[in-house]
């Protein structure tokens, strides 16, 4: 009898179907995943986003946005008053005529254009993922990556104090969409502050993850509540 020749089966790529079965594809171990929904915010309208791109500084863009909106409102009120003074005789003589309709239509069109330009906008949703010993926070195209070993303190403050103090600091990165009861502040050794507007359960879950993540003794973070 002649020995049978064994056919060597070529190894197939990982995850490719083989005779009706698929090989398992390894996935990264995600320890924690949190989500903050988007929020209506006029400062993220077309005008607000354009100012952010032009200045490159969110705080300066927000201040310029307030000035620009105030100027647009004053210009609209002044234009309406001048139009009324100019068309007052015609409007008084024929309140339902074509001139009155055009006058009212111009006001409605200007109000709608102003709302779409400077009033309709949303803060993007925030995704927070803790995996492989690192914390990543993403809002739209912007992502911040943080190593728990760099933290020096984890504190919570009330929103009023945060908006009056910590939010004004140059080293603060704001990830607050909704007005929660407390704002979680992650302080690093380099002076940076990461502000997170999380719900109470999500905030507790993140603090627990930070407490259980190994870190050098010299930079081990402490949790405080103010």
**Are 193 and 185 within 8 A, CB to CB?**
yes
- Residue 36, both tokens: 């903050």
Boundary (domain end) residue, out of 67, 100, 120:
120
Boundary (domain end) residue, out of 120, 152, 168:
120
* Alpha-carbon gap, residue 117 to 94, rounded angstroms: 33
* Alpha-carbon gap, residue 32 to 131, rounded angstroms: 7
- Count the domains in the chain: 2
pLDDT tens string 12-28: 333 333 333 333 333 44
pLDDT tens string 196-218: 988 889 988 998 888 887 654 33
* Alpha-carbon gap, residue 188 to 30, rounded angstroms: 23
Tell me, yes or no, whether 131 and 168 share the same domain: yes
pLDDT tens string 55-72: 888 888 888 999 999 999
140 occurs within a structural domain: yes
- Alpha carbon 187 to chain centroid distance? 19
Task: Please choose, from the candidates 69, 71, 70, 62, the residue with its C-alpha nearest in 3D space to the C-alpha of residue 44.
Answer: 62
**Are 207 and 225 within 8 A, CB to CB?**
no
């Amino acid at each position: 009898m002649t020995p049978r020749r064994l056919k060597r089966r070529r190894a197939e790529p990982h995850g490719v179907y083989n005779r009706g079965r698929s090989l398992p594809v390894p996935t990264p171990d995600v320890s924690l995943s949190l989500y903050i929904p988007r929020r209506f915010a006029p400062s993220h309208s077309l005008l607000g986003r354009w100012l952010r791109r032009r200045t490159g500084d969110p705080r300066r863009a927000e201040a310029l946005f307030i000035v620009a909106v105030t100027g647009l409102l004053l210009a609209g009120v002044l234009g309406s008053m001048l139009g009324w003074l100019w068309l007052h005789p015609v409007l008084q003589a024929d309140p339902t005529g074509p001139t009155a309709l055009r006058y009212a239509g111009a006001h409605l069109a200007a109000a709608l254009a102003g709302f779409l330009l400077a009033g309709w906008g949303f803060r993007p949703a925030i995704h927070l993922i803790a995996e492989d010993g690192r914390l990543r926070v993403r809002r739209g195209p912007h992502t911040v990556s943080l190593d728990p070993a760099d933290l020096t303190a984890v504190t919570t403050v009330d929103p009023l104090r945060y908006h009056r103090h910590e939010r004004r600091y140059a080293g603060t990165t704001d990830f607050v969409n909704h007005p929660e009861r407390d704002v979680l502040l992650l302080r690093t050794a380099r002076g940076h502050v990461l502000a997170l507007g999380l719900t109470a359960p999500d905030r507790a879950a993140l603090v627990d993850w930070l407490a259980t993540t190994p870190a050098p003794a010299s930079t081990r973070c402490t949790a405080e509540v103010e």
